[in-house]
Structure 1
Amino acid sequence: MDWKSYIKSYQSYLRIERGLSKNTIDNYTFDIERVLTFLEASSMEVSPVKISEETLQQFIYSVSKEVNARSQARIISGLKSFFSYLIFEDYRNDNPLELIETPKTGRKLPDTLALSEIDALIDAVDLSLPEGERNRAMLETLYGCGLRVSELVTLKISDLFFDEGFIKITGKGNKQRFVPIGNLTRKYIEIYKNSVRPHLNIQKGAEDTLFLNRRGKQLTRAMIFTIIKNLADKINLNKTISPHTFRHSFATHLLENGADLRSIQLMLGHESITTTEIYVHLDRKHLTQVMHAFHPRKNS
């Protein structure tokens, strides 16, 4: 088999065996195809079964000139997974990246929005426009439920369990979780769903999708980024923000108001508590307040 045949087989494994999303599979594939591009540019003809550690080190060195340490670490991790798959399928006996070190990366904390800034962004939505009610409902849902942007655009009407006070979210790897929904978020979703959405010309396949574009189709992730960027510009917000900023703010505000890390982990849909710790930014002042409030020897 050639590289493309091995890649196609690997994609099937990621989709069927590991249940990964299309976006995740595309990212894995892109990094493997980088190796193929490097080999072609270097006039090397070697299959993934025969490629050596030395050749892959040369590839990583060439990539290091183009991307930062965090991206290098992701590429190495993705390639290790690919070659582990080849071992699993008995295509090769060793992982040529086993001894290649991953560059150390610091934990970059995204910006957090203050509640006043979130209110300002939502208040800046022009409700006189046809998409105004939809945009307000989407921002309230991003912040009120701590969703990933991919989870927001794929949210279904059948996922809304308002009577029970939850919405069902399908996250990474098609893993499902139930997230509590507040009355305010529920109110704005119902306004959009009952008063605006029925007037759209809903396209086939999007009948159950909650948030739709003007053509009656599922919104793209890029469109959510654009909506948020335009609102940030409108209120002269001096921060670089994205849909993920709302998710990070959701976690931070919950923790600062007394929620425990385990509960936040469940709501965010993180497999590991260490991932949640990256999202949750605590300043020293808050840590000091927690210690003085809860340590048993605080008055000793």
Structure 2
Amino acid sequence: MITQIPKGYQEWFRVVMRKMPHLSKSQAVGLAMGRFFGIAITQSCGLSTVAVFLAEIQHRSENNVREQLRQWYKEKSHKYGRKRQEIEVSESFAFLLLWILSWWSSDQKSLVLAADASTLGKRFTVLVISVVYRGCGIPVAWKIVGATEKGSWQPYWHQLLNQVKQGIPDDWFVIVTTDRGLYAKWFYQGIVANGWHPLMRINAQGYYQPSQVLGDQPPSKLPLSGLITEVGQHWSGRVRCFRSNCVDCTLLARWDHGYADPWLMLTDLSPQQAQIYWYSMRSWIECLFKDIKRGGFGWHHTKMTDPKRAERQW
């Protein structure tokens, strides 16, 4: 009930109701107090820590608060009452993204997203798409699977891309960055199909063919490892990359001081439009994972084993 929330924190509830209108009132209370306020103030996602804090300021039983918080991530079959509802996490992704984009000025219509896979020991793998903003990463869509679960991630990434698309206006310029371990032709094509622009880092293994050469000789297949060989070098051009599962794209390459290896990137943008330094914003997501794990909320201490419950906690 909203009356159980201290008067000074009513604004938390009002903001959630305004920005996440698909939630029921009880769900909005649970999100505003148990998640946003409780976790933010205690700097912990530990159930006991948050329950003790909220019980103190609401003058309620710790056990009652604890059970209320657990209702957030439980399945419908494990909840009490006749009007039980199960949180469908993906329904919040577009609203969450629109909330974040409301911070942009009206004339600012560009966005950088980062797709990444993070593991929690041998328990979970989190596939997450984040907005990079002012030096940090904000997760806006995620799928959690068992760390040892067999099978392809392809359906999950396609689903996440489609869910994020619902929260981005069609006239926005969107860059999607990925690290070397996530490059795949289907991922590249999925980003382009959304009207966005991939900026996907690749390994130096494989070959490329320049799209334009002088004379009548067909372009040679050249090793990616020989494109950039010294610090300070850079290159860009249209190519057909890889021998199998080849893709026609722009290849960007650069090796700056302070880096152990050169950056090799694929994008659909022209060599004149693409800027390889955009990829540096991807490093901002490191703050996100630090905040969630050892440097902040301590999610690495979670006792959860069910990926679906972990998704709701996220």
Same fold, TM-score > 0.5, yes or no: no
Q: TM-score, normalised by structure 2?
A: 0.21
| Bigger fraction of residues in strand | 2
| Bigger fraction of residues in helix | 1
